[in-house]
């Protein structure tokens, strides 16, 4: 075994060995998605939400070139508090490891690493996707192609509403990524309960999601991911009028400052936080805590033997 292997935290390793439920968590939300000092507090709350629902949290990240599945609290604190933490997609993992970098994993990287470690369920806030004006820029998140080849269930509040939601759903269909709504036939838009698009399938319980995963495995035909779209209740979403106004202003600022690529999402999330006077941050936290809880309940259902 080389020094570049994936390292499992002791609690995660024990749980996987014993067949107990484990939920993967990303670290980009810690280093890039939430402002300090809220980021570390929320990261700990996310892990606790997974524990409270009966599963073991496995936050994925890189510390000094070591790719970890199951960061301990000191490592989590490091990624939350030090400057210069890299944002790592799948293609960045090897160079970051070779250069001894600190890195936070995106949805794409977390999905790929978690699946490689034997974890089948992952909770995040919102999925990446096709950016606005992608027809000119070709800017599309690596989340989509990674999920096309990674057998993991991703519990999320749909696609971040700062993206082109319709185009993202079209790409997911083309790539063969399964999408089910959790107790809904409408696709959520992260801050918004309803992004304005219908879904073909919905599931009503964690057990039913576990059955979808079991059927996929038993069939041996579909080897890609499953997006479990878990919308916020309407009374917990960001005010739609405030959302639309803030998004319009943020997109104008992006164009004015020439921001592209990996910097787009952190910039817009920061803009939302400032322009909504913290309301978007509160919604963001509610989203990830709800998704962590649901993901854990799905993992528990998937790990629980049931009679036919």
For the beta carbon of residue 61, count every other beta carbon within 10 angstroms: 30
- Give the whole-angstrom CA distance, residue 54 versus residue 57: 10
- Give the whole-angstrom CA distance, residue 237 versus residue 248: 18
Which residue is catalytic, options 47, 160, 173, 277?
Answer: 160
- Give the whole-angstrom CA distance, residue 291 versus residue 205: 13
263 Cβ neighbours under 8 A, 6+ residues apart? none
Per DSSP, 236 falls in state G
Task: Confirm whether 26 is a catalytic residue.
Answer: yes
Secondary structure in 3-state letters for 157-179: CEECCCCCHHHHHHHHHHHCCEE
Query: Is there a binding annotation on residue 142?
Result: yes
Tokens standing for residue 57: 């949290």
Secondary structure in 3-state letters for 223-234: CCCEEEECCCCH
Query: Is there a binding annotation on residue 194?
Result: no
Task: Confirm whether 262 is a catalytic residue.
Answer: no
- Give the whole-angstrom CA distance, residue 103 versus residue 82: 11
For the beta carbon of residue 14, count every other beta carbon within 10 angstroms: 14
What DSSP string describes 253-295? HHHHHT--GGGHHHHHHHHHHHHTTTHHHHHHHHHHHHHHHHH
Is 2 in a helix, a strand, or coil?
Answer: coil
Q: Strands 202-203 and 178-182, how do they pair?
A: parallel
Which residue is catalytic, options 26, 173, 249, 262?
Answer: 26
Query: Annotated binding residues for substrate, as ranges?
Result: 87, 107, 141-143
Catalytic positions are 26, 160
Query: Annotated binding residues for Mn(2+), as ranges?
Result: 139
Query: Annotated binding residues, as ranges?
Result: 87, 107, 139, 141-143
């Amino acid at each position: 075994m080389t020094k570049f292997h994936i390292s499992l935290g002791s609690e995660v390793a024990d749980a996987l060995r014993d067949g107990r439920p484990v939920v993967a968590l990303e670290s980009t939300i810690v280093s890039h998605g939430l402002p300090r000092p809220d980021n570390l507090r929320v990261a700990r709350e996310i892990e606790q939400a997974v524990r409270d629902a009966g599963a073991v949290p496995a936050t994925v990240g890189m510390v000094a070139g070591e790719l970890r599945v199951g960061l301990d609290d000191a490592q989590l604190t490091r990624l939350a508090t030090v400057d210069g933490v890299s944002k790592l997609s799948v293609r960045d993992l090897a160079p970051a490891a070779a250069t001894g970098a600190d890195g936070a994993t995106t949805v794409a990287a977390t999905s790929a690493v978690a699946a490689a470690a034997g974890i089948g369920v992952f909770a995040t806030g919102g999925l990446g996707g096709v950016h606005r004006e992608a027809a000119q820029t070709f800017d599309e998140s690596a989340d989509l192609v990674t999920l096309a080849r990674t057998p993991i269930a991703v519990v999320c509040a749909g696609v971040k509403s700062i993206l082109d939601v319709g185009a993202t759903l079209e790409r997911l269909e083309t790539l063969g990524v399964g999408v089910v709504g959790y107790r809904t036939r409408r696709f959520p838009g992260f801050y918004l309960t309803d992004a304005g698009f219908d879904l073909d399938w919905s599931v009503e319980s964690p057990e039913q999601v576990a059955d979808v995963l079991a059927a996929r495995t038993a069939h041996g035909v579909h080897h890609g991911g499953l997006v479990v779209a878990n919308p916020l209740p309407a009374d917990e979403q960001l005010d739609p009028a405030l959302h639309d106004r803030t998004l319009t202003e943020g997109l104008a600022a992006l164009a004015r400052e020439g921001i592209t690529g990996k910097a787009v999402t952190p910039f817009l999330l920061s803009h939302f936080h400032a322009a909504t006077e913290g309301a978007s941050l509160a919604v963001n936290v509610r989203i990830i805590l709800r998704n962590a809880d649901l993901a854990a309940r799905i993992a528990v259902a998937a790990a629980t033997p049931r009679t036919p």
